[in-house]
Amino acid sequence: MLNKKSVLITGGTGSFGKKFIETILSRYPDVEKIIIFSRDELKQSELRLIYPPQKFPQLRFFIGDVRDRERIKQACEGVDVIIHAAAIKQVDTAEYNPTECIRTNIAGAENVIHAALECGVKDVVALSTDKACAPINLYGATKLASDKIFAAANNIKGSKDIKFSVVRYGNVMGSRGSVIPFFLSKREEGVLPITHEDMTRFNISLQDGVDLVMFAIGNHLGGEIFIPKIPSYKILDVAKAVAPDCKTEIVGIRPGEKLHEEMLTETDSINTIDLGDKYAILPSVSYVNTEAEFLAHHKAQKVPFGFKYNSGTNTEWETVDSLRSLVKEHVDSSFEV
């Protein structure tokens, strides 16, 4: 799928970008070029130490900001596939710096789309978040806007051979700023701060997130928002799994935070299809493909009207034991209770 292709990853020095690079190199040894586009020269230099140019000549380290349309256009020259992972994603950061969040997450998305259209790119997949579903914080609102922009981009491609789609998933186990590394860092203090004892979250590994993007690249018609069927966990179970001897302290839900996360609302069910191991929200307005064409292409069926996908009412759950195994596998190989 990616052999002999040039791939651009915006935000390529983040947790997802690093795992995506690792996966491409292992699965597609004949990839022509991987362009790592980000604005952090320190992270790029650190990544270059892992992938020195002598051993990995297919990697390119491109300093730039998705807010800069001309710079992203330069980076897209000759590119076949774009993975758009760049974002301001810390909820509290976005609440305090709203304009910066809008410029990166919405204007940046527009810039990526226009660069892709102008440079002859074939496939564009953007990363989203469960916080874009019925958003209550600015970060989620900007990602919902970004999702809509990418889905609608298929309607303005004209005769160009290009497809845009989105992947949406929940908390990535072990990613920067996520709860498990935070709890691990707090173990020595003997107290774990818990926002709310009933809080739940969806759970996905970095590798599963990368695999979902790979699926989208190879299977999208354009306009879909792909959502994996993944388990939930209870925040108290995470605390028991990581640090059973620690006390817990309820500190209250932070501004812009939900008790349970959502990935599909009842209203979304009108445009949602079931692919077996994942869902796809179809574009509400599409001049490219009909619902029947999406159903046939994905061998899918429509979800029942009123269906919703919520971390608190999920049918699949992680246990304390399964969480411990996952922490050891995906977060810290030296982890012991």
**pLDDT tens-digit profile of 159-188?**
999 999 999 998 898 787 788 999 999 998
Residue 25 inside a domain? The answer is yes
Residue 112 inside a domain? The answer is yes
Residue 273 inside a domain? The answer is yes
Give the strands of the sheet with 163-167, arranged side by side.
59-63, 33-38, 6-10, 81-84, 123-127, 163-167, 225-228, 278-281, 272-274, 301-302
Residue 28 half-sphere exposure toward CB, CA atoms < 13 A:
18
pLDDT at 171: 87
pLDDT at 177: 72
Q: Is the pLDDT of residue 213 over 90?
A: yes
Return the CATH number at 70.
Answer: 3.40.50.720
Q: Is the pLDDT of residue 263 over 90?
A: yes
Maximum distance among all Cα pairs of the chain, rounded to whole angstroms: 62
Q: Is the pLDDT of residue 256 over 90?
A: no
* 292-303: average pLDDT: 98
pLDDT at 121: 98
- 209 and 22 Cβ atoms separated by less than 8 Å: no
Residue 36 inside a domain? The answer is yes
- 89 and 141 Cβ atoms separated by less than 8 Å: no
Residue 11 inside a domain? The answer is yes
Its pTM stands at: 0.95
Residue 90 makes CB contacts below 8 A (sequence gap 6+) with: 139, 177
State how far the alpha carbon of 192 is from the alpha carbons of 15, 91, 237, 241, 318, in Å: 24, 20, 12, 12, 20
Structural domain span for residue 225: 6-170+205-229+262-309
pLDDT at 25: 97
Residue 127 inside a domain? The answer is yes
Residue 82 inside a domain? The answer is yes
Q: Is the pLDDT of residue 18 over 80?
A: yes
| Domain count within the chain | 1
pLDDT at 175: 80
Active site residues: 131
Residue 194 inside a domain? The answer is no
